[in-house]
Amino acid sequence: MDYKKQMERYIERLEGKTGKHNADLIKKFNEKQQALPSQPGYKRLIVTLHRLSSISQMMKHKEFDKLTEDDLIKFNNTLRNRGLKSASDYRKTIKMFLRLTNKKKFFDLIDSEYLRNYKTNGSKAVNPEEFWTQEQINDYINASKNHNVRQLAFAALWLSTGGRPTEILSI
């Protein structure tokens, strides 16, 4: 299979998948990525293009050069809701995109906790606000009060520390 031709065809159809503005940004990003010293192969470039196209769809074609932290929160929630096993790869892809665009406003987004790579023994500390609204958090606390003291203590520890369930249970 000729990956170079496949990539060229993908780029030709990109505008229909991401909108003109994002397609132009992704094309420029693709050129910069090809010029990297690591010189990623065409197969790798295709995977990156596909992920950026999917990210654009998840963000409802929001222009990549106008992303905010709220957009990243929504993106992260979309990854969680869809249960994507490759969520970390999607985060890495958008982070690489933001880094290679060399726009100063993106530096804060690159370091955003929503793009951090959480790989501590295969799990991460949980930020409840990343997944739940304040109303859902309040509902969880109220439901915990109806069970027992242990459940309420678990809820309080989890919501205040973001620790993993096994860490909280070991306390």
Residue 147 pLDDT > 80:
no
For 74, the token pair is 């929504």
- Using CA atoms, how far apart are residues 106 and 86, in angstroms rounded to an integer? 23
Residue 110 pLDDT > 70:
no
Residue 111 pLDDT > 60:
no
Residue 120 pLDDT > 50:
no
- Using CA atoms, how far apart are residues 45 and 18, in angstroms rounded to an integer? 17
Residue 21 pLDDT > 60:
yes
- Using CA atoms, how far apart are residues 142 and 133, in angstroms rounded to an integer? 14
The better pLDDT of the pair 67, 54 is held by 54
CB-based burial, 14-27: b 16+ in 10 Å, e otherwise: beebbbebbbebbe
Residue 118 pLDDT > 50:
no
Q: Where are the beta strands (DSSP E) in 12-150?
A: none
